[in-house]
Structures are given as C-alpha cells and as structure tokens.
Amino acid sequence: MLKNQIARTILGRLGRALSVGFWVMVISFAIMRIIPGDPASARLGGVEAEAIAQLRKQLNLDGSIFQQFSRYVTDLLHGNLGISLQTGRTVIDIIGSTLPLTIYLILFSTFFAVILSIPIGTSIAWSGKAPIVYTFRGITAVILATPNFFIAMVGILIFTVRVNWSPVFGYEPEFPQNLKYLWLPVVVNTLIMTSVVSRVIFSSVIETKEEEFVETGIIRGVGRRRFFWFYILKPSMAPTVVLLSYMMGTMLGATVILETIFTLPGIGREMVNAVLTSDYPVVQGILLIFGVITVFLSFVGDVIAYLLDRRVKI
C-alpha cells in the first residue's frame, strides 16, 4: 500500500517532467521562428534567392509550421539535431565533445560545496552566537550578490597575475595537466555554491534545533555521531537536495560566462561562439540540451527529496 503510493507520486512527477520536457522542445523549436524576419536571409545578407532557399531548407524553415515541427521531432528522435553552419560538424557531435567538461566542472563544484557546507552551516547554526551569525550572513550575502565573472576576475588577478599558479589561456585535455586549468573555475563555482547551500543548511538546522525530538535526543543521551546525522542533519537533507538540483541548473547557465573567461572548451563557450557567429543549429541544439538537463535535474532532485522525507510535496 505504502509502496504503491510512493510509486504513484514518483510517476506523477515523471509525467510532469515529461510534459515540461515537451514544452522545452517546443520552445527550442520556436525560438528560431517567433522572431520577425527570416534567419536564413539575415545570415546570408543580400545574396541570390537560390542560396537563401537552400539554407532555409537546411535549417528546416520551408513548408508549413506543422511540417517543420513534425520534421523537427522526427529528426530529434533519430538523434539528429542538425549540422553546424560554421564547421559542418553535426550538432550532436559538438555537444558530445564539449558537454563532459562542463559536467565535470559542475559535479566537482557541487561535491566540494556539499563537503564544505555541512560543517559550516551546522556549526554556525549550532553555536548560534550573534556576531558569528551576522558575519556569516554578511559574507554569504556579498558573495551571492557578486556576479561570477567578477569573482573569477579577482581570482585570476590573484592566482595568475600575482602568483603564477594558474595559466590564463588554453587547455590541455589530458588528465593530470588539465587540473592546472580547472582548479580555479572549480574554486569560483564552489565558493558561490557553498554560500547558497550553507545558508539553507544553516536556516534548516536553526529550525530543527527548536523541535522537540532534538531535546528528547539530548535527554536520552544519544551518541554524538548518531545525534548529528539523524537528529540534526537528516531533516535538513530534503530542502538541501532540492536546492542542489536547482543550483546545478543555475551553474549550468553560468558556465556560459565562466568558460568564456577561463577559455575552457566546454558547452557554454561553444554556445557563446555559436551566438557570435550566428550558427543557428548549434544554438538551438545547445539550448535544447540545457533545457533537458535542467528538467532532468529538478526531477531527480524532487524524487530524492521525496524519498528522504515523505512530507515533501513534489
């Protein structure tokens, strides 16, 4: 009976994820078409009509809007996202070669952020001393309001210009060498993420502290470790997981800027290059991937949060 209900809730959430996913597809299809004017002639300028017609065909802009959409969906189901106008590579290939780096960047930052946030958030909340709490709130507020490219610039100024710990340009894909290029972007991301996550853990622990079961735990003399994990931390886990899945989506958006600054060959810089060269199929394909990943992340985050705490509404 209980298992049934869990399955039903998760299936319901999956249904919502799929319907949002459908709209993500519609939006990335529509983005080339809702804007006044014809992208094909805008890109080619005033050349002969034949070339424009051919480009329209290549961009799937000929025929009625329904024909275009059905072709778009069929292509998508065959794993065909179009061909780059700039390099002639398939968009799938471009995404496949640039996405992994971005994903590593985000996963590492998330991992470090979680490791740092748990002790910071809980210890500050547990001590509850006003000066510490105010300092913590102030510092995290400043970090959160600062744009990531400015934090990155200050990082470069310190670690590349003052002490030469990190090269400014370039990238080497081999394993031990690439860490030299990756550590500073990861630190910037981790710093931002830690500020958000530790704040949520902090306020969640503050709330938990007042609950009666915590007092009961103290009176019963529960072991220290067990007390920390089960009494203090576990109730904070569900909101933290939801926040993490949301933050990973935001980080994905922020890579557009971060990878441009650090000249890392990830998907974000690829998108900026495609925008600057009006490479429509690449922009469209990357937009779709970003949307799909974000929908997937929020689905996974919600499901994990629900499994951790059944009271969570998803």
State in angstroms the smallest separation of the CB of 290 from other proteins.
5
What is the x/- site pattern for other proteins, positions 34-53, by CB under 8 A? -x---x--------------
Span 171-230, contacts to other proteins by CB under 8 A: none
State in angstroms the smallest separation of the CB of 270 from other proteins.
12
Yes or no: say if 126 and 209 are a contact pair by the CB < 8 Å rule.
yes
Span 232-271, contacts to other proteins by CB under 8 A: 249-250, 252-254, 256-257, 260-261, 271
State in angstroms the smallest separation of the CB of 312 from other proteins.
17
**What phi and psi values does residue 72 have, to the nearest 5 degrees?**
-60, -45
State in angstroms the smallest separation of the CB of 2 from other proteins.
29
| Residue 19 makes contact with other proteins by CB under 8 A | yes
| Residue 6 makes contact with other proteins by CB under 8 A | no
What is the x/- site pattern for other proteins, positions 110-139, by CB under 8 A? ---------------------------x--
State in angstroms the smallest separation of the CB of 299 from other proteins.
11
Q: Select from 5-13, 110-118, 214-222, 280-288 the region that touches other proteins (CB under 8 A).
A: 280-288
State in angstroms the smallest separation of the CB of 24 from other proteins.
5
Instruction: Tokens 């939006």: give the residue.
Output: 27
| Residue 291 makes contact with other proteins by CB under 8 A | yes
Residues that bind other proteins (CB under 8 A): 16, 19-20, 22-24, 26-28, 31-32, 35, 39, 137, 141-142, 144-147, 149-150, 153-154, 156-157, 160-161, 249-250, 252-254, 256-257, 260-261, 271-272, 274-276, 278, 280, 283-284, 286-287, 290-291, 294-295, 298
